[in-house]
Every structure is written in C-alpha cells, then in structure tokens.
Structure 1
Amino acid sequence: MKHAYYRAQRIKHDTPQILEINGFTKVLAFIPHPDDEAIGCGGLLSQLVANNIAVKVILVSDGSGGGALPEGTADTRENEFLHSLKILGVHEYELWRLPDGQLDTLELLPSDIAHAVREYCPNIVLSPWYLDMHPDHSAVGYAVKQCADKGECDVLFYEVWSPVECTHILDITESMEIKIKALEAHHTALQYGHYLQALRGLATYRGLYLPFGAMIQYGEAYYFYRKKRSFFNALRSYLKS
C-alpha cells in the first residue's frame, strides 16, 4: 500500500484555452435568475455587445425566490435585471417568468428551451452548468445540453454555484468593472449574500489561468460543449445553405 498511489489511474486535464469571440455571430443566453447574468457571464455579454455581436438574453424564472422572499420581490428583481442588462449593453431579451425554485419540475421546460434555440438560430448558447448544485440551474443546463446532443447548438456553460470543468477562460480584466456594476444593480440579491466579494474572488482565481502579467487579471471560466453531428442535421444545414 505504500506506493499504491503511483498505480492509480491519472486523469489528464488540459490547460484551459483562451476564449476568443471572433467567430461568434449570434449568441443566445439562458439565465435562470436575476443576477446570474452578471455573476456567470457578465464579462462575456459586455464584450459581445462591444464587438457588435448579436446577443439575446432569456430570463427563465420570475425571481420570486420560490416564496421565500417578500411579496412584490419578483417585480423588483425583474427591474434590477433590466437595469443590469442596460449596464451590460444588452437590448434584446425575453422574460419567461416561470416559477422560481420549480424549474426542475416543469415538464415543458426542455421543449420551451429547444423552441427558443431553433427560433433564434444562435451559433453559441450560454447556459448555466448542467451539474450546478442549484436545481433551477441544472434544469436549464440539462435542457440546453439536450439541444446540443440533438445537434442544435454549441454551448458555453458558465459557473455560478458550482465550478465548471474549465475548458476555456475569457480575459475580462478590462470588462471587470462593468461586470461588477451589473451585479451592483441587484440590490435585492446583495441583501442576502456577499456576492460582490465572491465575484471578485472567483474572477481573480480564474484569472490565474491567463498569461501572467504585472497586474491582477480577471477571468470567466466556461465549459465548451460541442453539438453532436448527425446525418439529418448535416442535411438540414445543407438545405438551408
């Protein structure tokens, strides 16, 4: 047993690649709750807008806190979400207002998400990590993953409550302040957690994946999930061209 650890199978983890957005043309982002857009992918959203890449954001839940928050909170959080989008520069969005805390119980959620993907035809979808500990996040993530498995879209999974298995890292050093201001718009959420400190800490830690520089760098981590290829999807793409 003394040297048993040498015989253990080693799992190879590749160094995360730097995420380049040059090839992005149309991006659809699914956001489970108000504030997830700032925490999970605020830096990327702001950079997409700055580079004139089409972006649409769908807020899936009503943000009511599943009944745990005071009456009227859903309306307040929705307004905070819209303010956050304005800071990030995003103008196209949908508000589905599905019951917060119950997304994993909604049988039609996967078909609703699949319909939204087919209707918008993005070349990249942003989604919460499908292994996220929050049931609402994983429900959205799994539904998006199903779209990718059917050949509908490539996906970048972002992290909120659970870290992703990082395949790509985005340098958000220059857009970090926008990301912070977007989160600051969520006054309600900030009453219930030290999210600003957590955001800075996570972005600083993820920034360690970036090429070393003299200044502190900030990063956003993503797991890239490539859509499955099939004969029928290839034929459909050919007929569209």
Structure 2
Amino acid sequence: MKQQIDILAIGAHADDVEIGMGGTIAKWIHRGKQVVICDLTEAELSSNGTPNLRKEEAQHAAKILGVGKRINLRFPDRGITGSHEQIKAVVRVIRQYRPRVIFAPYHIDRHPDHGHTSRLVREAVFSSGIHRFQTGEEDQAHIATLNYYMINGIHTPHFVVDISNERDQKMDSLLAYKSQFRPDNGVITPLTDGYTDAVMARDRLFGKEVGVQFAEGFMTTKPVVIDHDLLGEK
C-alpha cells in the first residue's frame, strides 16, 4: 500500500539513524511530520547483543522518538554491495512510502557499511525517479531530495537543526540500545567506551557554532532553498 510521508531515514544498522539524526526526527514528529526508518541489515555481526535483541531495542528507540513505522530489509551485515537487487529493494521502499526527503549516512565514515549505504541510497534515489526502472512490482517513479547525516566523525555541515529541546529524547533513544552502548556482559568496542557522550559532544559543538545548546549537522546533495529561516523566524 503506497503512502505519502515526509521523511524516510535509512541506516545500515539499527542505531545509525538515532546517532546521526535522532533529535531531528523527534523535532519533526513533534511538528506533525510523518517519518519512517529503514534499517538495511539486522546487524548480525555486531560484537555485542543478538539480532533479535537489536530488533527489540530498535523498536523501543523508534517509540521513544515517536516513529510509528520502522522496517528492516535484512541485507547481510557487511554485505551491502550496491548490487542491482539491493538497489531495487531500496527503490521499492522509496516508491512505497513516497517521501519528500530521504536521509542516509554520510559517505566519509570509519565503518565501510555506512559508506556503502550512502552510495547505495544515492543510486536508489536516482533510479527511483526513472519511470522505466523496473523493480518487479507495479510501482511509479518517485523523486525525493537526498541529504546525509553523520554517524562517526565530525565534518563541517552544510546545515544544522537545533535539537536543544530534543536532546534528552535523543539520548534516551540511544540508551535504548543497551546491548551496544552499555552491555552488562560483552566485549569492549568503540561503542562501549563513552560513545554516546561523544555523539552528544558533537551535537553540543555544532550547537555552539550557531548559538544554540545542541544541533545535528547534515550534508546536502544540492543547495537548500531558504524561505524565511535566514531571518531567524520559526
């Protein structure tokens, strides 16, 4: 069943979207926007937790942010290849939900899956707008704007979103992934060593740059049209 939503946020693993734009999602949902999260893999190769536990944590995190729909395409973890079949699968999602804006991980990232996802989504967004691109289903071409959120690393953003009021909500969504960030019994990974604090420190840094407490940074594929926000209006 086709829908018309505002935002489709795509990540390689459950928790990617929350890390990069959890506060922005919460902000837009507060404003009545419809958001769908799409995880590409079940993160079955993660050092801590299990796929089933990760699914439970992902649904809990989505609920904290107010997201009503979260799907998983079950691509193999470390197997995001950008194959024609994977492109078609993402195109089907885009054409089903028909979002106005799509978000994917920024391609410069220490985790190869995030870079592969970035390139795969860009391919899918382009292909989705081609009327003769076939997915095996009766779907119609759909064009959407593509932007990128950051997972690992700090890059000079093209634009930021003030999440000062959503800071706690974002942190709660991250802490829903206890198996990843604060496991009771598990191996030490970069995620278990103050990772969530580092994420919020980055948001604080971006916020400081624009005179607010916390902000999330984004990269664009084309210039952003400014209507009234340049004047500081809400």
- What TM-score bracket applies, with the shorter chain setting the length? 0.7 to 0.9
Q: Tell me, what secondary structure is at the counterpart of 2:81?
A: helix
Which residue type is aligned with residue 155 of structure 1? L
- 2: distance between equivalents of 1:226 and 1:149? 13
RMSD of the alignment, in Å?
Answer: 2.2
2:20 aligns with: 40
Q: Tell me, what secondary structure is at the counterpart of 2:72?
A: strand
Which segments of 5 or more consecutive residues in structure 2 lack a partner in the other structure? 130-142, 183-188, 224-234
Which segments of 5 or more consecutive residues in structure 1 lack a partner in the other structure? 1-24, 228-241
Determine what percentage of the aligned residue pairs are the same residue.
Answer: 23
Q: Contact 1:170 / 1:219 at 8 angstroms: preserved in 2?
A: yes
Q: Report deviation, 1:164.
A: 4.2
2:219 aligns with: 223
2:32 aligns with: 52
1:119 aligns with: 96
Aligned runs of 1:85-104 on 2, under 5 Å?
85-104=62-81
- 1: distance between equivalents of 2:218 and 2:17? 14
Which residue type is aligned with residue 57 of structure 1? I
Q: Report deviation, 1:37.
A: 2.0
Give the alignment's TM-score, normalised by structure 1. Answer: 0.74
2:107 aligns with: 130
Q: Tell me, what secondary structure is at the counterpart of 1:108?
A: helix
- 1:28 pairs with 2:42: no
- 1:69 pairs with 2:65: no
Q: Tell me, what secondary structure is at the counterpart of 1:157?
A: strand
Q: 1:197 to 1:55 in 2, by over 3 A?
A: same
2:226 aligns with: none
Give the alignment's TM-score, normalised by structure 2. Answer: 0.76
Name the count of aligned residue pairs: 197
Larger Rg: 1
Q: Contact 1:103 / 1:135 at 8 angstroms: preserved in 2?
A: no
